[in-house]
Structures are given as structure tokens and as C-alpha cells.
């Protein structure tokens, strides 16, 4: 549960903070991309997202290590594992939903990917995860659209 919550918090914090700071970070490293600004912004966003995500996960990993000391209490390990499964499902839904959101908004209407997304029975469910977190991440999804 603790690691799954940390992983979910890492995804959300990484997306939120990277969407705020990726332009500033890109401007510092702009010369490294030789005029490929769109690629540079995308790479900068991915790097910032990954670093922030890993730092948050590391913090929760340290917290999980201290939890292992008190895990001798009955049923605490079971609750930890069941809660971890629930949060792992939520994190997976958000990550895959975000990928589908980007794909749905960037591929041409009538393309193969667009047709597959329209006929999918699972894609609307996964896109529902993104609808649920939109209020938490104002402007982040629009900034992701700008990257593409």
C-alpha cells in the first residue's frame, strides 16, 4: 500500500511539477537540441517527470522500510498488500489513460489508431481515469497537447 500510494503520488506529482517547470528547464538546455524545439520540450518534460517521479517513490520507499518494522501486527501485511493492489490498479489506469488521451487527441481522424480507439470497449473506461484527475491537474493536459 505504501509503495503503491507513493508510486501514484509520484505519477501525479511528476506530471504536475513537470508541466510547470519543463519550459524553464528547456530554456536552460535549449542549445542541446540544435533547433528541434518540439523534441526538446518533449524530452525535457519526460526527463523532469521521471526524476520527480523517482524522487517521490524513493521517499515513500524509505517510509515503507520503516513500516516493515511494525508489520508484525496481525493482518497489517494483508491490508498493505490489498491496498497496494487497489492503488496499483488506479496508477495503471491513469498512466494508460494518459497515453490513450494523448493518442486520441494527436492522431488524425480516420487513421488506424483513431479507428481502433473509437471501436474499443476498454478505452472509454481508461479515459475516465483522466476525466477524474483533470481537476487536480489544471492546464497539464493542455500543455501535453502543445508538446505534440
* Residues 1-32 pLDDT 10s: 777 788 888 888 888 888 888 888 888 887 88
pLDDT computed for residue 54 by the predictor: 92
Q: Give phi and psi for 8, each to the nearest 5.
A: -65, -45
pLDDT computed for residue 51 by the predictor: 93
What percentage of the chain has pLDDT greater than the value 90?
5
Distance of CA 58 to the CA centre of its chain: 16
pLDDT band at 55 (very low <50, low <70, confident <90, very high): very high
Provide the 10 A C-beta neighbour count for residue 12. Answer: 18
Write out the DSSP string of 72-102: TSTTHHHHHHHHHHHHHHHHHHHHHHHHHHH
* Residues 30-42 pLDDT 10s: 788 777 777 787 7
Distance CA 14, CA 29 (A): 19
Do residues 133 and 94 touch, judged by C-beta distance below 8 A?
yes
Amino acid at each position: 500500500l505504501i509503495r503503491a500510494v507513493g508510486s501514484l503520488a509520484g505519477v501525479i506529482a511528476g506530471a504536475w511539477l513537470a508541466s510547470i517547470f519543463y519550459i524553464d528547464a528547456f530554456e536552460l538546455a535549449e542549445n542541446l537540441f540544435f533547433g528541434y524545439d518540439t523534441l526538446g520540450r518533449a524530452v525535457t518534460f519526460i526527463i523532469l517527470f521521471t526524476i520527480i517521479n523517482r524522487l517521490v517513490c524513493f521517499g515513500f520507499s524509505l517510509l515503507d522500510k520503516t513500516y516493515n518494522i511494525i508489520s508484525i501486527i496481525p493482518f497489517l501485511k494483508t491490508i498493505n498488500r490489498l491496498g497496494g493492489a487497489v492503488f496499483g490498479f488506479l496508477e495503471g489506469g491513469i498512466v494508460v489513460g494518459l497515453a490513450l488521451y494523448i493518442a486520441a487527441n494527436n492522431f488524425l481522424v480516420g487513421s488506424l489508431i483513431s479507428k481502433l480507439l473509437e471501436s474499443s470497449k476498454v478505452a472509454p473506461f481508461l479515459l475516465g481515469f483522466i476525466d477524474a484527475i483533470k481537476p487536480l491537474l489544471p492546464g497539464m493536459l493542455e500543455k501535453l497537447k502543445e508538446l505534440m
